[in-house]
Amino acid sequence: MERTATGLDGPALAAGDPSAQLADVTGLPEQLRDAAWKVESASIPPFDAPGGLIVAGMGGSAIGGLLARAALGDRASRPIMVARGYELPPWATPDTAVLCCSYSGETEETLACYEAAGALGAPRIVATTGGRLADLARAEGVPIIPVAGGYQPRAAVAYMIVAALEVAALTGAAPSVRSEVDVAAAHAEELVSEWGPGGAEDCLAKSLARDLDGTVPLIAGSGITSAVAYRWKTQFNENAKMHAFAHELPELDHNEIVGWTGAQDAASFSTVFLDDQDLHPRARQRIALTRELVEPSAAVTRVVQTRGESPTERVISLVLLGDLVSVYLAVLRGVDPQPVEVIERLKARLGETR
């Protein structure tokens, strides 16, 4: 691939990001605030769902559920699960709330879950910009959380996180963390100044992008950062148009670590460990030891810490960092971060077989 950009200063970023994806990423603080307002505007009355909460969605619309569950952690008093496919889990009952998230409102898997939840008699809530999902919900009197339009679905992560957090509180699956979201938004503004386009050339986000450029990144999370590791992987896939993989500790120490034995013969691999102050002490020890063991076979190894006080604030900090790194990587690789043409081609082919 021809590399057309060598730096990450203002002119290079403007030239390498013609669709202004960085503006969407750095808009995260205001998006968090707008998302909270949009949930309020939906005026959804609280209701009890003893069976817990299922967040049904795909891709960028599903990640909010995963990240919300990570932020809530052991504060969740009922199961919170993400369903990524055409079916609800077999244990779902009429006492289980189902939040159907589809940015476009046209995601066929999520539409199938919406219909399945209705057939089951489970209470439903929808988060979308419109489409068939919104039409069905309006016709059936199902509450709709409006999501701001004009984004790539993956860039609407703030709306999907907040929707999942708020619905978890509304259904009794977890306590409200609205105050944490407010603080996270303010903290994210500070991090945008530090890591964003106007940040120093040696800031964490830009230095990480330079280190990872030309490698296949393996992102490792644990506990609260496991879902964030998966977010990094998918953002590298879609924005930077590159392979990346995610795994979690301690599980990867029981399998993936052995793959490093022959890593140098296969490709130039890098690894980033996502650390957090509240990880189990043994998990943090595993990060240090695993890094030490794979380092001889890795092009780059980095350990990145969450930033902030509350779990929500810390999850958001690494979401922002990974999103920025993914766009910076796109610029370094000379690719436009916006288009995902192969996904569109796949959807078109699937539409032909309906």
Encoded tokens for 151: 């984004």
Out of 238, 248, 256, 313, the active site residue is: 238
- Helix then strand count (H, E) for the chain reads 15, 9
Q: Is the dihedral of CA 135, 138, 142, 144 positive or negative?
A: positive
109 has catalytic annotation: no
Distance CA 295, CA 119 (A): 52
Which residues, in sequence order, are CB contacts of 123 under 8 Å at separation 6+? 47, 49, 97, 98, 171
Distance CA 32, CA 81 (A): 22
Spatial contact of 322 and 221, defined as CB atoms under 8 Å apart: no
254 has catalytic annotation: yes
Coil, strand or helix: which one is 141? coil
Coil, strand or helix: which one is 98? strand
Encoded tokens for 124: 């439903």
Distance CA 220, CA 273 (A): 5
Distance CA 237, CA 86 (A): 23
Read off the DSSP letter of residue 44: P
> 206-242 b/e with 16+ CB inside 10 Å = b?
bbbbbbbbbbbbbbbbbbbbbbbbbbbbbbbbbbbbb
Encoded tokens for 122: 């489970």
Nearest Cα neighbor of 290 from 330, 334, 255, 340 is 255
Spatial contact of 133 and 112, defined as CB atoms under 8 Å apart: no
Distances (CA, A) of 220 to 233, 247, 280, 284: 10, 5, 15, 12
Give the active site residues: 238, 254, 347
